[in-house]
Amino acid sequence: MQQSSTKSSNQELGLEILNIGQAVPYGWNYTVVTQNLEEISRPHGLWKPVSIVNFTNPSNIFEVAGGDYRHLSFWLYFYNISEKQEIMGIVVNESIYSWCVPIYFNETNKYIIVTSPCYINSGVSTEETQRYYTVLEKSLKEYFNEFK
């Protein structure tokens, strides 16, 4: 597992983000992003998060439309738990859209965590991509449950 991290100078991150590598299965890398968050795309209807964690699996690629190939990937968006009610309302309201809708992933005492189908393997869901993603998803959910 390879990690790269960009530390924020204006906000202390929780241990669930700082130690997230403990939950990352073999073959997956991750990057904790805390700077220039306003420039990074995010699920429809949501604002700049506290942090984003980008997971990639460089060992496995899949084909997308037009013969383009991509690595397996997954993005998680962390928001302060105090914003949970507002974010859950957005999740419900945005569900009418067909692309990049926010979906609830998990929560801890400090954060509500969301993602979107378009940020799971670039929106491609095949049996093969789902098989790899499911292992990462299960590991992360078990890990976040330790912070409730």
Please report which confidence band the pLDDT of residue 11 belongs to, taking 50, 70 and 90 as the band edges: low
Global pTM reads: 0.90
The SS3 assignment for 142 reads helix
What's residue 48's pLDDT? 96
The SS3 assignment for 83 reads helix
Do residues 4 and 31 lie in contact, with contact meaning Cβ atoms separated by under 8 Å? yes
Q: What's the rounded Cα separation, in Å, for the pair 80 and 32? A: 16
Q: Is 122 left (phi over 0), alpha (psi -120 to 50) or beta?
A: left
78-128 pLDDT, tens digit per residue, is 999 999 999 999 999 998 887 799 999 999 999 999 999 999 988 888 888
Torsion, Cα of 131, 147, 49, 33 (10° steps): -70
